[in-house]
Structure 1
Amino acid sequence: MPEKPFAEHTVVVTGGGTGIGRAAALSFAELGARTVIVTGRRKDRLAEVAALHDAIVPVGADVTTESGAQAVADAVGERGGALDVLVHNAGIFRFSPLTALDTTVARDVVDTNVLGPLLLTAHLLPLLRSSGSIVLVSSRGGHTPGPDSSVYSASKAAVHSFTRSWAAELAPRGIRVNAVAPGFVRTEAYAANGLGPKQVEGLFAGVAATVPLGRIGEPEDVAQWITRLADPANALVTGQIITVDGGLDITAR
C-alpha cells in the first residue's frame, strides 16, 4: 500500500464514534484522506474522534432516516460534492432468543443493519466517483449463524447480499463493493447487551480458547482490512467478503 493511498480523498464512515468505525476513521485520516466524515447518534463520541485528527469531521445523524441520510449527503456536498469511499460500519448486535422475542429490538436491528446502509447508499450514490469504493462491515454471523442471534445473523446475511448485488450493479460505473466480516472484536457491543466487565472478559477468554490464532480481535484488526479493500490499488477486487476472525470459521465447519 502506498504511504498515502487516500490523498485528497473524501471518506464517509458510519458509526464512526466508537470501536471499528473509530479505528477506520483514524486509519483513513492517517493514510492521507482530506476529509473523513464520521456519522452516528452520539455527538459526544463523534467529537472525541474528531479531536484526534484535523481531517475528521463529525456529523450527528441517524442514517436509518431520510433526513439523517440527507444530512450526510449535504455534508459531502459542502466539502466538494464528490465522495471516494463509503464505509457502512454502523450496526447493532442484540441477543434475541425466539422464546423472548422483542419486536422493538428486532426492528431496531433490521433498521440499523439493513435499512441504514440501503438508505444512505441511495442518497450518496450520485456523489460517489466512478472509481469509488463501498465497504460494508458485516459479521461472520452472516454466514455462520448461532443460537439466540437469529435477527442479527439474518441482518448480516442481508449485508452479504448487498455486497454481491451492489458489486454487480455498480461495476459498470467502476465502483467496487466489498465487505469485511469480523468475528469477536473487543468493542462496546457486548456491554450494550447488558454484560458487565467480568462477564465480557469471561466471554472473550472462552472464545479466545477456541480461536486458532488464540485471541479476540481488536478494532484495528478490522480497520486495516477496511482500508485495504478501499485502497484504489486493489482495483480488481469487488464482490468479496473477507472474514477476519482469527480462523474461528475453521472450527465451525
Structure 2
Amino acid sequence: MTTSPDGAAVVVTGATSGIGWATASRLHADGARVLVTGRDEERGRRLVESLGARACFVAADLAAPGSADAVTDACLQAFGRLDALVNAAAVDHTGDLLSTPMADIRRVFEVNTFGAIAMIQAAARVMEHGGSIVNITSRLALVGVPTMGIYAASKGAVQALTLSAAVELAPRGIRVNDVAPGMTRTPLYDAWLARTPEPAATEREVLSRIPLGRLAVPDDVAAAVRYLVSDEARHVTGTVIRVDGGYTAQ
C-alpha cells in the first residue's frame, strides 16, 4: 500500500463490525496507521486493542452534523495527515417500497448517503498530497431486488457520485472508487437471515444464485479495498470492483 516511512494514514468508517472491521485489520496489517470510527465505543476499543500500535478509535455518528470534520480532524491530530478514506459505515433496510415511512427512508440516507458524502468532502479537503477514497456500495446498486429498493437507492447514489468525484478530484491527485460486495457473511447478513421464516432454506436459495456457490466473507471485500488504496491502483479511478461471486454478471 502507499506508505510514508511511518505508514499511510487511513480513516475507516463503520469499522466496529463486518466489512469495516476486516478492512481496518487488513490495512493495519499492511503497515497503515488506522483511525477507525463507529457508534459502538466498546467494540471500537476492542478493535483498537486487537490492532495495537498505529491504531486509534473515534466514536462518531455520521448522521450527526459536524461528525465528518471531527473524524478528519482527529486523524490529522493523531497522524499528521490523511492519505485514504474507506466509507464502510452503513445501516441496513429491508421493506416494502410502498409502505416504508419517509422517516425510515431519511434515516437510511442520512448514514449510507449523506454521511458518506460528508466524509468525502471532509477527507478530500485535507488530502494535501493526494490520496484514495474507497466507497463500500453494494451489488444492489447494480440490480433490482424486491424489498431492497431504499437500501439500493442509498448505495446507488454513492456509486453515481463516485464517477463525478473521481473526475472532479483527479487534478488534486485523489482517486475515488467503489467496492460493491454481494451477499457477505456479516452481522447484518446474519441478523437478516435470522428474521426469515426458514433461515436454512433461505441461505440455500441465496447460494443457488451465486455462480461461485458461496457467500463472500469480509476479508474478500477488504482485499479489494486494499488494492484500491495501494499504489498498485495508482491509475485506477472512477471504477467499481464487484466482489459478488459473479452474481451481477448473470
TM-score interval w.r.t. the shorter chain? over 0.9
Alignment partner for residue 36 of structure 2, among 24, 38, 44? 38
| Equivalent residue runs for 1:225-236 within 5 Å | 225-236=224-235
**Distance apart, 1:88 and its partner CA:** 0.4
Distance 1:47 1:216, change over 3 A: same
SS of residue in 2 equivalent to 1:52: helix
**Distance apart, 1:194 and its partner CA:** 8.0
Residue type at the aligned position of 2:164: S
Aligned pairs, number: 247
Distance 1:234 1:184, change over 3 A: same
**1:217 matched to which residue of 2?**
216
SS of residue in 2 equivalent to 1:176: strand
**1:171 matched to which residue of 2?**
170
Higher mean displacement: 215-224 or 71-80: 71-80
Higher mean displacement: 62-71 or 145-154: 62-71
Higher mean displacement: 197-206 or 152-161: 197-206
1:27–1:224 Cα contact (<8 Å) kept: yes
Unaligned runs of 5+ in 1: none
Alignment partners' CA distance in 2, 1:14 and 1:239: 20
The C-alpha deviation readout for 1:117-162, integer Å capped at 9, x for no partner, is 1112222222214330000000010011211111111111111112
2:20–2:88 Cα contact (<8 Å) kept: yes
Residue type at the aligned position of 1:49: L
Alignment partners' CA distance in 2, 1:166 and 1:98: 29
1:96–1:102 Cα contact (<8 Å) kept: no
Residue type at the aligned position of 2:142: H
Residue type at the aligned position of 1:48: R
| Equivalent residue runs for 1:53-202 within 5 Å | 53-54=51-52, 55-193=54-192, 195-196=194-195, 199-202=198-201
**Distance apart, 1:92 and its partner CA:** 1.5
Unaligned runs of 5+ in 2: none
Aligned identity (percent) is 36
Alignment partners' CA distance in 2, 1:198 and 1:24: 32
**2:243 matched to which residue of 1?**
244
Alignment partners' CA distance in 1, 2:194 and 2:98: 20
**Distance apart, 1:214 and its partner CA:** 0.7
State the Cα RMSD in Å: 1.9
Distance 1:201 1:134, change over 3 A: farther
The C-alpha deviation readout for 1:149-178, integer Å capped at 9, x for no partner, is 111111111111121111000001111010
Distance 1:92 1:200, change over 3 A: farther
Distance 1:125 1:200, change over 3 A: farther
Alignment partners' CA distance in 2, 1:129 and 1:92: 31
SS of residue in 1 equivalent to 2:183: coil
Distance 1:171 1:236, change over 3 A: same
**Distance apart, 1:104 and its partner CA:** 2.3
- Give the TM-score normalised by the residue count of structure 2: 0.92
Residue type at the aligned position of 1:76: C
Distance 1:164 1:112, change over 3 A: same
Residue type at the aligned position of 1:51: E
